[in-house]
Homo-oligomer: A and B are copies of this chain.
């Protein structure tokens, strides 16, 4: 990772600053939260250091004491996001997917991951580091969860092995993205379920009925 934040202050600064006040860890979190919330609201390009500070009830100096600027703060905030990788495992493919849908739709109000992604989109083409952390912390984890769900379904024989698994896995997030961009509305659970029932599940079962017979001929 290119330019690490200065945020090894947990122990480092405490030892280095022999006398004097320590960096307040609660300020770190407040600033990171504010950055992500604003990122989801107004997007990366319109995000300013001043706004982040004001939103967190902090001074700009408090930010520059920790990060070199907007880019580093945003990257650090994304890196520090908690990843609760509890992959649904109900023993049924459809139930796993709908459980995932419920979880995604329930995020309402929170600094929605999806909205953070949208806010980042315009900045990705010109910032490689941002693009890397975007993949590592937002895209890949989502895809990995869906992939795991399919692999388990294959392992227990519920569906036949899926060739081009990566493509199938990306259908759900791709349609969510598309809806978010095209209609500008946050997809609700109903939307997720309709995609699952009308696209994803027919597709994996189609492969069972159209491809397998050919294999047995």
Give A residues with C-beta under 8 Å from B.
42-46, 117-119, 121-126, 131, 135, 139, 163-164, 167-168, 170-171, 173-175, 177-179, 181-182, 184, 194-195, 198-199, 202-203, 205-207, 209-210
Bound complex: CA A135 to CA B178 (Å): 12
Q: Which residues of B contact A198 (CB under 8 A)?
A: 163-164, 167
Q: Which of B44, B179, B202, B210 sits near A122, CB closer than 8 Å?
A: B44
Known contacts A167-B198, A177-B174, A202-B207: A121-B122 contact under CB 8 Å: yes
Shortest distance between the CB of A68 and any CB in chain B (Å) = 21
Q: Which residues of B contact A181 (CB under 8 A)?
A: 117, 121, 124, 177
Shortest distance between the CB of A168 and any CB in chain B (Å) = 7
Bound complex: CA A177 to CA B122 (Å): 13
Bound complex: CA A210 to CA B207 (Å): 11
Q: Which residues of B contact A177 (CB under 8 A)?
A: 174, 177-178, 181
Bound complex: CA A202 to CA B139 (Å): 26
Shortest distance between the CB of A196 and any CB in chain B (Å) = 11
Given pairs A45-B46, A171-B171, 11 additional interface contacts (CB within 8 A): A43-B122, A43-B123, A121-B121, A164-B194, A164-B198, A174-B175, A174-B178, A178-B178, A202-B210, A205-B206, A206-B209
Bound complex: CA A45 to CA B45 (Å): 6
Decide if A206 touches B195 in the complex (CB within 8 Å).
no
